């Protein structure tokens, strides 16, 4: 694409109408084109006016819901934010995130036999995983570990419906001896309670960490090695966790055989 | 007696959103409450026009607002308004949702997509939104048909420009320029400065 061609993509870019190769190409161009950045900025201001024009009155209960939710969500520290902003305000959003999708999809392809025809669902799952990955940018090491498991060549996944209707997925890499648990649509645990993960060693539950469940979707590297575990489970436990499950599991997922 | 006349611009703008967002970035929950009052309507309107399903729109609206809380420190007032930043977050997130849900579509959906003008017919009590709606409607009328359709499909319906080209049976290059020209014309008509 010529420079002039690229420049005309400001409109499409401003309203998120670019994807794939073109998006990357345009973002690289944006980094060296002041005029383009300026135009994107103006067109985004314009788009915001279109949004305001479409305002609807939210249901009265929503405000309380949102205020309750933010009370449990940790904010990004300013320093990190400044760095990312400099990297690119115009659009670059979450590089880590996009990578996570790619690896999640890669893992999915590797596990095609497991994923089967659930492509749409998998995409959504990946998209949830991406959101989650973005949320954990601060905890870079953790995110890196998560990415490694999802991208492992021998990653296999299993999903199931959890009590309450949310979906849980476990991705296991026997090579790394690690597992990642992903949940989407998981409600906040009741006050004073927390979700806990478990490895099942032939029916004996071994604690595998607590699930930080702020937000709609969640991903966590399970604590400890997979070892001889044949399944994993999730329970609701008193805050701080338990040494053995005190309630029925919300879901039990058998690991794909090695 | 003279009627007040609003010429462009944020005539009825309430609180200073930039200042609020900076307070929010420092963990000020009261400031967030005020910010919520100012931006939740636009966020819901936008997500609703993109997702159409009211329940999903509300869910995404909540996610967007939590996201604003979480990453408020990323907002840089030197690079644009708070409203534009928030609406970019909202649009991005709703578009992700639309694309993931969307099966490769659907020429016949085009008429349906275009006939429902973005939530314009629905009510809101916010004065600012009402004024904005009048203005945007007026400015939309200054666009050519193709510009208007391109902007509507891309912004209010979350279609990629390739999909817009397909839906309108136009070459990619044409959609690219119509989309940009349309937005530029709206920018000038709305008196958007940067």
The two structure tokens encoding residue A37: 């950045």
Considering CB atoms only, which of B99, B124, B173 is closest to A56?
Answer: B124
Q: How confident is the model at residue B82 (pLDDT cuts 50, 70, 90)?
A: very high
Asked if the Cβ–Cβ distance from A44 to B80 is below 8 Å, we say yes
Q: For residues B130 and B162, state if they share a domain.
A: yes
Residue B128 has pLDDT above 50, yes or no: yes
Q: How many domains does chain A have?
A: 2
Considering CB atoms only, which of B66, B159, B161 is closest to A70?
Answer: B66
**Mean pLDDT, range B106-129, rounded to an integer:** 54
- Measured from the Cβ of residue B80, the count of other Cβ atoms closer than 10 Å reads 21
Which has more pLDDT, B98 or B178? B178
Asked if the Cβ–Cβ distance from A53 to B132 is below 8 Å, we say yes
Q: Report the alpha-carbon distance of residue A17 to residue B26 in Å, rounded.
A: 33
Does residue A73 belong to the interface with chain B, where contact is any CB pair within 8 Å?
A: yes
In the predicted model, what is the mean pLDDT of chain A?
Answer: 75
Asked if the Cβ–Cβ distance from A16 to B158 is below 8 Å, we say yes
Phi–psi pair at A194, nearest 5 degrees: -150, 155
| List of chain B residues whose C-beta atoms are within 8 Å of the C-beta of residue A74 | 70
Q: For residues A115 and A234, state if they share a domain.
A: yes
Query: How far is A104 from chain B, CA to nearest CA, in Å?
Result: 14
Asked if the Cβ–Cβ distance from B125 to A127 is below 8 Å, we say no
Residue A124 has pLDDT above 70, yes or no: no
Per residue in A127-173, pLDDT (tens digit) is 555 555 555 444 556 666 777 777 777 778 888 888 877 888 888 88
To the nearest 5 percent, what fractions of chain B are helix, strand and coil?
70, 0, 30
The reply to whether B173 falls in a domain is: yes
Q: How confident is the model at residue A118 (pLDDT cuts 50, 70, 90)?
A: very low
Query: How far is B3 from chain A, CA to nearest CA, in Å?
Result: 23
Most confident stretch, A181-195, A241-255, B51-65: B51-65
Q: Find the DSSP H helices in B10-53.
A: 17-25, 29-51
Looking at B101, B125, B142, the residue that finishes a domain is B101
Query: How far is B132 from chain A, CA to nearest CA, in Å?
Result: 5
Q: How confident is the model at residue B106 (pLDDT cuts 50, 70, 90)?
A: low
pLDDT for res A123? 44
pLDDT for res B86? 97
Residue B114, domain extent: 106-194
Asked if the Cβ–Cβ distance from B73 to A56 is below 8 Å, we say no
B117: domain CATH number?
1.10.10.10
Q: Report the alpha-carbon distance of residue A186 to residue A209 in Å, rounded.
A: 17
- Which ipTM did the prediction report? 0.82
**Mean pLDDT, range A111-130, rounded to an integer:** 43
A7: domain CATH number?
1.10.10.1320
Residue B36 has pLDDT above 50, yes or no: yes
Q: For residues A159 and A217, state if they share a domain.
A: yes
Dihedral angle at the C-alpha atoms of A145, A150, A155, A159, nearest 10 degrees? Answer: 120
Per residue in A170-225, pLDDT (tens digit) is 888 888 888 988 887 788 888 888 889 999 888 888 999 888 765 555 778 898 88
Residue of chain B whose Cα is closest to the Cα of A15: B155
pLDDT for res B171? 95
pLDDT for res A143? 66
Query: How far is B180 from chain A, CA to nearest CA, in Å?
Result: 4
Q: For residues A80 and A103, state if they share a domain.
A: no
CB within 8 Å of chain B, chain A residues 135-194: 135
Which has more pLDDT, A11 or A105? A11
| List of chain A residues whose C-beta atoms are within 8 Å of the C-beta of residue B190 | 46, 49
Specify the residue for token string 């008193």.
Answer: A238
Q: For residues A71 and A143, state if they share a domain.
A: no
pLDDT for res A105? 41
Which has more pLDDT, B63 or B126? B63
pLDDT for res B102? 58
Q: For residues A106 and A81, state if they share a domain.
A: no
User: Helix, strand, or coil here: A199?
Assistant: strand
Distances (CA, A) of B60 to A164, B88, B159: 20, 13, 18
- C-alpha angle A198/A199/A205, rounded to 5°? 75
| List of chain B residues whose C-beta atoms are within 8 Å of the C-beta of residue A66 | 36, 40, 62, 65-66
Q: Are B27 and B80 in contact (CB under 8 A)?
A: no
> Which of A235-239, B30-34, B78-82, B146-150 shows the lowest mean pLDDT across its residues?
A235-239
Looking at A87, A120, A151, the residue that finishes a domain is A87
Asked if the Cβ–Cβ distance from B194 to A73 is below 8 Å, we say no
Interface test with A, best of B49, B59, B65 (most A CBs within 10 A): B65
The two structure tokens encoding residue A30: 């944006």
Looking at A52, A87, A122, the residue that finishes a domain is A87
The reply to whether B126 falls in a domain is: yes
Strand partners, A168: A160, A183
Specify the residue for token string 């397909």.
Answer: B166
Q: How many domains does chain B have?
A: 2
pLDDT for res B126? 59
The reply to whether B162 falls in a domain is: yes
Residue of chain B whose Cα is closest to the Cα of A98: B96
Of A5, A41, A45, the closest CA to residue A22 belongs to A5
Residue A48 has pLDDT above 60, yes or no: yes
> Which of A178-182, B155-159, B187-191 shows the lowest mean pLDDT across its residues?
A178-182
Considering CB atoms only, which of B41, B69, B118 is closest to A57?
Answer: B41
Per residue in A51-109, pLDDT (tens digit) is 999 999 999 999 999 999 999 898 988 744 444 444 344 443 433 444 444 444 444 33
The reply to whether B7 falls in a domain is: no
| List of chain B residues whose C-beta atoms are within 8 Å of the C-beta of residue A57 | 41, 44, 123-126
**Mean pLDDT, range B152-168, rounded to an integer:** 92
Looking at A44, A68, A87, the residue that finishes a domain is A87
Residue of chain B whose Cα is closest to the Cα of A53: B133
Distances (CA, A) of A240 to A72, A219, A236: 16, 18, 11
Q: For residues A114 and A224, state if they share a domain.
A: yes
Q: How confident is the model at residue A44 (pLDDT cuts 50, 70, 90)?
A: very high
Helix axes B54-71 and A61-70, enclosed angle (nearest 10): 40
pLDDT for res A94? 39
B74 DSSP 8-state letter:
G
């Amino acid at each position: 694409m010529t420079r002039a061609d690229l420049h005309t993509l400001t409109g499409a870019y401003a309203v998120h109408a670019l994807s794939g190769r073109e998006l990357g190409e345009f973002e690289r161009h944006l980094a060296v084109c002041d005029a383009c950045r300026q135009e994107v900025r103006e067109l985004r201001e314009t788009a915001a006016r279109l949004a305001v024009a479409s305002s609807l009155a939210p249901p009265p209960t929503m405000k309380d819901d949102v205020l309750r939710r933010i009370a449990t969500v940790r904010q990004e520290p300013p320093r990190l934010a400044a760095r990312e902003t400099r990297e690119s305000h115009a659009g670059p959003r979450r590089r880590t995130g996009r990578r996570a999708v790619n690896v999640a999809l890669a893992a999915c392809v590797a596990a095609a036999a497991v994923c089967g025809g659930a492509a749409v669902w998998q995409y959504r799952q990946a998209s949830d995983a991406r959101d989650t990955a973005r949320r954990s940018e601060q905890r870079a090491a953790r995110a890196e570990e998560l990415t490694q498991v999802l991208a492992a060549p021998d990653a296999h996944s299993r999903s199931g419906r959890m009590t309450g209707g949310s979906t849980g997925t476990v991705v296991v890499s026997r090579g790394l001896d690690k597992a990642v648990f992903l949940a989407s649509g998981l409600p906040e645990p009741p006050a004073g309670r927390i979700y806990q993960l478990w490895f099942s060693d032939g029916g004996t539950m071994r604690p595998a960490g607590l699930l930080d469940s702020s937000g709609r979707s969640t991903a966590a590297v399970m604590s400890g090695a997979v070892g001889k575990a044949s399944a994993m489970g999730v329970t609701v436990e008193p805050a701080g966790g338990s040494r053995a499950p005190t309630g029925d599991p919300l879901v039990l997922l058998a690991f794909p055989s090695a | 007696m003279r009627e007040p006349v609003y010429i462009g611009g944020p005539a009825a703008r309430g609180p200073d959103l930039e200042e609020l967002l900076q307070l929010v970035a420092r963990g000020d929950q009261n400031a967030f409450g005020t910010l919520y009052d100012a931006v939740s309507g636009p966020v819901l309107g936008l997500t609703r026009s993109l997702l159409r399903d009211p329940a999903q729109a509300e869910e995404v609206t909540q996610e967007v607002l939590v996201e604003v809380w979480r990453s408020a420190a990323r907002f840089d007032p030197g690079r644009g308004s708070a409203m534009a930043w928030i609406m970019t977050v909202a649009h991005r997130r709703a578009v992700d949702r639309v694309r993931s849900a969307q099966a490769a579509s659907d020429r016949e959906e085009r008429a349906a997509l275009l006939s429902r003008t973005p939530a314009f017919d629905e009510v809101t009590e916010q004065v600012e939104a009402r004024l904005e709606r009048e203005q945007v409607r007026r400015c939309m009328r200054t666009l050519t048909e193709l510009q208007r359709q391109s902007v509507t499909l891309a912004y209010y319906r979350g279609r990629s420009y390739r999909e817009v080209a397909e839906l309108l049976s136009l070459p990619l290059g044409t959609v690219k320029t119509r989309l940009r020209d349309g937005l530029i014309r709206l920018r000038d008509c709305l008196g958007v400065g940067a």
